Amino acid sequence: MPIAVESFWRALAEHGERPALAEGSTRLSYAELLAEVERRSAFLRELGVRRLALALDNGSDWALWDLAALRADLVCVPLPGFFSAEQRQHVLDSAGIDTVVTGDTAAFAPLGFRPLTVGLCQRRPVQVAALPAGTAKITYTSGTTGQPKGVCLDATLQLRVAASIWEACGPSGLERHLCMLPLAVLLENVAGLYALLLGGALVELLPLAQVGIGGSSQFDLTRFLAAVERAQPNSLILLPQMLLAWVTALEGGAPLTDSLRFVAVGGGRVAPQLLERADALGLPVFEGYGMSECASVVCLNTPAHRRIGTVGRPLPHLVLRLAEDGEVQIGGARMLGYLGEPAPAGEWLGSGDLGHFDGEFLVLHGRKKHQFITAFGRNVNPEWVEAELVQQLPIAQAWLHGEACPTNVAVLQPRSAEITDEAIAAAVERVNAGLPDYARVHHWLRAEGPFTAANGLATANGRLRRSALFQHYRAAIERVLAAQPL
């Protein structure tokens, strides 16, 4: 067993009778957690499990089975609940899963799994893909195509990230963490569960619906507020759109619990304006940046080292540099490889993100592949402009197009059908006031409807499918541009 993994178990044992996991009225101490993990890991070994998939809602069961797989030195594959049936089958087949832990074993019968005992089903996979040596977890990224891609990670890297997170955040006095994101997402699994357990905190786990999360992009603010008020956590991990909704509610008079000490936000660009609004409310928000290929977090702002407009300083276990074209490259923390592909070569991992350094702090510009060049030769990162647009209350979604065009066109989805074109135009004008001329929204179209996975205009976790959006709105954009004087 790698030294980092042994250190993890020793650290948990040292926490003794302190509370470790809570789910409603049920609690487990660290001693009880370790005993239960030992029992489950022995059970998995007896069953001859090699590759285990977790198809569970957030809760103590998810955490215990995940830790049991780590303890038994098995390959663990989280199955996000927001994956489609086709994506789920792709994960199970491509990873060669032989056992699934699930609350619905019947759902896996058509895929060749037979029930073993309550909550477990098993099969003999038709084929078992070769994995890089040391693979402990395969996390699937939703990507921008239909089939998710498997990222193979070892246990040591995951726990190294967790240790760095605790080193950076622990001094904030974090004793109680409420999981707000799916545990099947690496950010909550490693930077939330593992990091807080390593530090001896209490991790509260509730079904996602109870904290306001539904599917890949549904957010019930009322349930979220109630969960935070009830749990009184010291720390949370949020996505930018969740933070935006929360800040807007607080500005409208919603109460703010005084227990919060560290609210991490990541998973997408966060407009500096939103962080300034959070500051004004006394909400302790810290932006970070990460990649699945690096076992989640790469950079993080902290109370001791914070600069709004940046994603923070690199975590201590890794180093960053910039390529000649401005791409962020990462050294010292990388995946073992993508499932079914050759092992990565070289010491540096290209992130695909463009950025620059402000002292020790990293500033991101956007995805390298998303950058477009206007007809006047100016480089524009649309994610920057889109993040500013969705800060405006009337605008729910935004996509900016300007490749080889003399002016930029945005397609905007309002937050409700009642929002007028005049309100949208005023919102666009407010955003444009803070942008250089080449990045401004020169023209805009009202979207025909939301960008969703169902209509192919977004991925399952809400990322824009830019090529699909271009094909869908191409004729409308060409009409707008043709109407403009030369």
Query: In the prediction, which pLDDT does 370 show?
Result: 85
CATH of the domain at 428: 3.30.300.30
Co-location of 421 and 391 in the same domain: yes
Report how far residue 293's alpha carbon sits from residue 149's, in angstroms, rounded to the nearest whole number.
11
Co-location of 134 and 188 in the same domain: no
Query: In the prediction, which pLDDT does 139 show?
Result: 96
Query: Each residue of 365-381: pLDDT tens digit?
Result: 877 888 888 876 777 88
Low-confidence ranges of the chain (pLDDT < 70): 1-3, 142-146, 215-217, 376, 460-461, 485-486
Co-location of 354 and 443 in the same domain: no
User: What is the domain range of residue 389?
Assistant: 371-482
Query: In the prediction, which pLDDT does 216 show?
Result: 57
CATH of the domain at 313: 3.40.50.12780
Maximum Cα–Cα distance across the chain: 74
Co-location of 279 and 417 in the same domain: no
Structure tokens at 161: 């990230």
Co-location of 472 and 431 in the same domain: yes
Out of 139, 155, 171, pick the residue that ends a domain: 155
Query: In the prediction, which pLDDT does 145 show?
Result: 44
Out of 103, 121, 155, pick the residue that ends a domain: 155
User: How many domains are there within the chain?
Assistant: 3
Query: In the prediction, which pLDDT does 485 show?
Result: 60
Co-location of 297 and 252 in the same domain: yes
Q: Give the dihedral sign, CA 165/166/172/177.
A: positive
Residue 94 near residue 86, CB atoms below 8 Å: no
Residues with Cβ within 8 Å of residue 292, at least 6 apart in sequence: 139, 141, 151, 186, 335
Report how far residue 237's alpha carbon sits from residue 287's, in angstroms, rounded to the nearest whole number.
10
Co-location of 150 and 295 in the same domain: no
CATH of the domain at 117: 3.40.50.980
Provide the CB-side half-sphere exposure for 473 (13 A, CA).
Answer: 27
Out of 367, 390, 414, pick the residue that ends a domain: 367
Query: Each residue of 307-338: pLDDT tens digit?
Result: 999 999 999 999 999 999 999 999 988 899 99
Co-location of 334 and 217 in the same domain: yes
Co-location of 37 and 169 in the same domain: no
Co-location of 339 and 291 in the same domain: yes
Report how far residue 263's alpha carbon sits from residue 255's, in angstroms, rounded to the nearest whole number.
16
Structure tokens at 195: 């990091």
Co-location of 28 and 54 in the same domain: yes
Structure tokens at 178: 């409420």
Query: In the prediction, which pLDDT does 435 show?
Result: 85
Co-location of 222 and 275 in the same domain: yes
Report how far residue 361's alpha carbon sits from residue 315's, in angstroms, rounded to the nearest whole number.
11
Query: In the prediction, which pLDDT does 118 show?
Result: 85
